[in-house]
Amino acid sequence: MNRTSLYKSHLKLGAKIINFSGWEMPISYSSLIKEHNAVRNSAGIFDVSHMAIFDFKGGDQAGFLKKIFANDIDKIKNKNKAIYGVLLNEDGGILDDLIIYHADNRFRLISNCSTREQNTEWFKKHAIQFNVEVIQRDDMGILAIQGPKAIKRVLNSKIITSKVKNLKSFECMFEEDHLYARTGYTGEDGLELVVPNKIIESLWMGAIEKNCIPVGLGARDTLRLEAGLNLYGNDMTADNHPFESNLSWTIDMNNDKRNFIGKQALLRVDKTKCKKLIGVVLKDRGVLRPGYKVTHNNGKGIILSGTYSPTLQSSIGLARVDQGYKNNGEVVIRNKPLKLSFVSPRFLRQGKISS
């Protein structure tokens, strides 16, 4: 079983530990709702060092990333920015979602922990033709500090460079080997810090001393679902293509000269017939869970992610359904049909309930 460098600190803080894809990670420290609301209203801090960090050395790195990554890497090539997108297989199925960062003429990539081995092999396989060396950074960890007051509290800790206050959304910067990025997985403002394991505890404790509340994976899931952010393994897998995963905006289909892995398969997709990923709100008493069956007047579907939303005070979820849906449908829970409203998958925008 794997552990992050902060494992002992989690235990001291009273964290409940679970097995998450082979990592012993905190699911919560106090209560899920308290931790969730801390991020929505002030500032919370997450240890997400279980995620995979990759650097690259030599060769044609931009060419390599253009080959394996479906989004347009030229959007960040000469800028200090990050870009979100997916890895696809030859059939157009989603192997993983990830963020690529670029600053000071170097790239860094962060992907999910459950796909670490798969991605390492995939990267090395395709890096050969571009003479690129793939370096997995097991010596580094990641902190996510999120919430409307997060950046101010981090700056007040005096352990983070003051330059981060100038970063805009999805901008990033390197300071030596440290990466600071205005990115996150909660729908709130904040930073993600990719730093060496040898200093991560001092950053963690410094942020907590400035009233950043420790937050576990339980609240991380409710936060990302309220923000309409996909979870790999739930809302998208290798069996799904981006057009049925609400990710068409991440696919660079406009450049006829560029042929990324999976593009030819996507060109064969009939978008008028593929299923859609939508948001759902349960109107009756109950809690939505993955696997529950959904119906509407013109088809059916399935719940992919579901939970109780502390902000909306309702059960919400993401569902993949047949086209032709309108505003309402039903879900079957314990053999009982219950009413659903179909909405945008992004329930919140910048912490506010979407209209």
How does pLDDT run across 66-124, given as a tens digit for each residue? 999 999 999 998 899 999 999 999 999 999 999 999 999 999 999 999 999 999 999 99
How does pLDDT run across 295-310, given as a tens digit for each residue? 999 999 999 999 999 9
Q: How confident is the model at residue 254 (pLDDT cuts 50, 70, 90)?
A: confident
Check residue 256 and give its pLDDT. Answer: 82
Is the pLDDT reported for residue 292 higher than 90?
Answer: yes
Question: Average pLDDT of 309-323?
Answer: 97
> Among residues of the chain, what percentage have pLDDT more than 90?
91
How does pLDDT run across 180-239, given as a tens digit for each residue? 999 999 999 999 999 999 999 999 999 999 999 999 999 999 999 999 999 999 999 999
Q: How confident is the model at residue 354 (pLDDT cuts 50, 70, 90)?
A: low
Q: How confident is the model at residue 158 (pLDDT cuts 50, 70, 90)?
A: low
Residue ranges and CATH numbers for the domains of the chain are: 1-269 (3.30.1360.120), 275-353 (2.40.30.110)
How does pLDDT run across 159-197, given as a tens digit for each residue? 687 888 899 999 999 999 999 999 999 999 999 999 999
Check residue 155 and give its pLDDT. Answer: 79
Q: How far apart are CA 113 and CA 111, in angstroms?
A: 7
Check residue 162 and give its pLDDT. Answer: 81
Is the pLDDT reported for residue 149 higher than 80?
Answer: yes
Is the pLDDT reported for residue 351 higher than 70?
Answer: no
Q: How confident is the model at residue 350 (pLDDT cuts 50, 70, 90)?
A: low
In degrees and rounded to multiples of 5, residue 115 shows phi and psi of -110, 15
Nearest to 186 by CA among 42, 331, 8: 42
CB within 8 Å of 102: residues ≥ 6 apart: 76, 77, 79, 80, 81, 82, 83, 108, 172
Does the pTM exceed 0.75? Answer: yes
Residue 155 one-letter amino acid: L
Distances (CA, A) of 59 to 18, 105, 113: 40, 13, 26
Question: For 147, left (φ over 0), alpha (ψ -120 to 50), or beta?
Answer: left
Q: How confident is the model at residue 157 (pLDDT cuts 50, 70, 90)?
A: low
Check residue 154 and give its pLDDT. Answer: 84
